[in-house]
Structures are given as structure tokens and as C-alpha cells.
Amino acid sequence: MGRPGTDVYVAGVGMTRFGIHMDRDIRDLCEEAFFEAMEDAGAYPDDIEAGYIGTVGFAWDAPIMAGQIAFEQVGVTGIPITRIENACGSGSNAIREAWLAVKSGEYDVAMASGVETMNRPLQDQIPRFAMFGGGDAMMEGTMGLFPPGIFAMVAQRYLNEGWITREDMGIIAVKNAYHGSMNPKAHYQRTLTMEKVLDARMICYPLGLLDCCPTTDGAAAVVMCSEEALPRFRKHAPVRIRALTQTSGTYCEDNPREFTADSVVRAARMAYEKAEVSPEDIDFVECHDCFTMAEIVHTIDLGFCEREEVGRFIRDGNTQLDGKIPFSVSGGLMSKGHPLGATGPGQYHEVVTQLRGEAGKRQVKDARLALHENGGGFRHGDTGIVCVSILERAD
């Protein structure tokens, strides 16, 4: 048992390659990611005092008691294990619960994880509610409020107002594909041209196929420890979690931040305040860019530019790898992939790899402070769950 209020550090991270794994179930995927995270930390099964797993698996392929099954694969049994479902933010919610458990002093070491096997069931076997992206199928699904539809409507408003062009959306897709091409863990390891993005099959106007994330399988895990326990695991440059916030969407009839995600704005503001930093201090961002339009909106929500300036901000190269504030250097959800519950822990894998200076060709120069944002689901046009973290290299 640690002391209440202790600083919490990431001791180890692990993940499978994200992609299509038709021949692998959650046991197989979690075994790879969990062992990699423990090996990365220098931890043994007996070191893990509490376990958390995020998955939307009831809609796909994960069994009941998925957490116990997954942790048992690496010899971790007998401890408190908690499964969390919170749409696309399930894995980040698991990270937050593990962080709280260590920060409270109840445990010295906890492991958070996420897993999804989205390609194994046939489409007609997936429950109807799963197709609405964590929304309210009865109320919102009948109005066309499913993920591509929502971001398509936002994109049309931005285009009509002249805040962005269709090519600005294409810049995001091309950029993230380039970043993903350098990531051996990414679903897609390819580059794209603007012409290919703009000519892609239309999904929901103006979002084409290459404006959208793929359907992805994978698992990822994060070993966290207290400051007191850190010397037991220090194999790498230490990465400290300076802030980790979570919000839920709310209904607001008169939203002054029209066509932005108020829940993301609130989570980011709280994270900056708790970490005692500002957007100007952040070196790079891993955001929930499930669509090109999502990254554009989050660039505003997270405080990096104003809505009327976002098109120019993108065109000026600010979010490129060598730009002012690189976004989605892993390839993001559109290229690295979006296996729902595994997405947040997978983003942590990238953030920690970057802060350690171990990202190879996609390394952000002099990276010391990072922002992670992951959300999911919808509530009345707002994001249903949002987690924002600020992490720093602490050596």
C-alpha cells in the first residue's frame, strides 16, 4: 500500500499490432499485450495488485468475465479485476480507474488494459445497438445520429461557414497515413495522396472512406505504479501522469460552443489546470481522430486554435510531425486503428514511447510533455465520455 496523493508513473506499456486478427481471440491478444507491458516494466505477475480492462465486447466477441480470463493468461489471479464498458473510451476509463487506485494509496501497482475483436462476428450478428457508436439507438439512431453521420453534419457546417475546405480534411488523412507508415504497430502502414483521399468512395457526405477509421482488432496494456514503487521498475526514462480527467456529455439547449464537443473542452480545461500547464506547453497530442473531422474539431476543443482559424492552422503544417504541435504521430485512429476498448491504452503506448525518445523515424523532437484525449459515444450531440491526460518525461 502506498500513500494517498502519490504521483503515479507509467512503468510499462505493451500492445499487439492493431489490425485484422480473424484467427485470434481476446485471450491470445491480451496475452501478447500484457506480457509485453510487464516485460517492458520489469514486472512479474505477483507485482500486479489490481487489474482493469476496457472492452465493448458484449457487442462483439468478448465473453463474460473478460478481465479475469485475460489476466489469467499471464498468471495474474486472485486480485481485484474490473471490467469497464464506456463506448470508445472504455480503455481510457480503465486507465483512469487504475490511476485513481494507485493515487489513492490503496495499491502500489495496477495494470490497465483494453481489447477488442471487432472483425470476428459477421455484421448481421452484431447487436443493433452496437452500430450506433454508443449512442441511444431508440432516440438518436432513428435520426441518423450514428458516428459518420454526426461528423459529416459537423463537417458540412464547417465547410458552409468557410472555416475549412475539403482539402483541409484531406491534409489530416494524408498526414496521419504518413505517420502510420512509420509505426510497426499500426493497422495501416501506407502513405496516401490528396487525390486518393478526395476520390475515395463516399461514406457520408463529405466523409469519404479515407476520412474514416478502419474496423480494427487489438489489445494494449499499461502498468502503473506509485512513486514509492518506481525504483522497482525503472528500466526506462520515467513517465509521470500529471493529470487525468474524465467528463460526460450533457444536454444543453443553447450551446454557445455550437459544433464543438463541450465535454472535450471541459476535460481539457480541467487537465490543464490540474497539471498547471497550458496548450502552449504541450509538445504533441494523441487525440481521438476517428474521422478527419474529429481531429479538426479536437484541435479547437483542446485549445490549440480558434474555430475560425482552424483551416489555416492545418494548412500551415502546425499539426505535422515537424510542426508546432504534432497530432496523431502514431497514425491516429485512422491509420493505427480504432479497436474501441484498446484505443486509449494504445494511445498511451504511443505517448510513453515518444516521451522515452524511442519512436524512431516518427519521433517528436525534444518531446517532454504530451496530451492524450480519448472519447466515445454520444449524448444529445455531445461526446458521451471523454478522458484527457497530460503526461511528462520526469527524469
Active site residues: 88, 338
Report d(CA 49, CA 111) in Å as an integer: 8
Q: Residue 226: in which H helix or E strand, if any?
A: strand 217-226
- Side-chain half-sphere of 93: how many Cα atoms within 13 Å? 24
Report d(CA 73, CA 26) in Å as an integer: 10
Q: Residue 82: in which H helix or E strand, if any?
A: strand 81-84
Q: Residue 72: in which H helix or E strand, if any?
A: helix 66-72
Tell me the angle at which helices 147-161 and 292-301 cross, rounded to the nearest 10 degrees.
Answer: 70
Tell me how far CA of residue 21 lies from CA of 8, 88, 118, 218, in angstroms: 33, 19, 9, 8
Report d(CA 35, CA 254) in Å as an integer: 49
Contact 375, 266 (CB under 8 A): no
Collapsing DSSP to helix, strand or coil, 174 comes out as helix
Nearest in space to 369 (alpha carbons), one of 394, 395, 392: 392
End-to-end Cα, the chain, rounded Å: 24
Tell me how far CA of residue 199 lies from CA of 157, 208, 336, in angstroms: 21, 8, 22
Nearest in space to 185 (alpha carbons), one of 326, 290, 336, 355: 336
Contact 347, 374 (CB under 8 A): yes
C-alpha cell read off for 119 = 472483425
C-alpha cell read off for 256 = 454557445
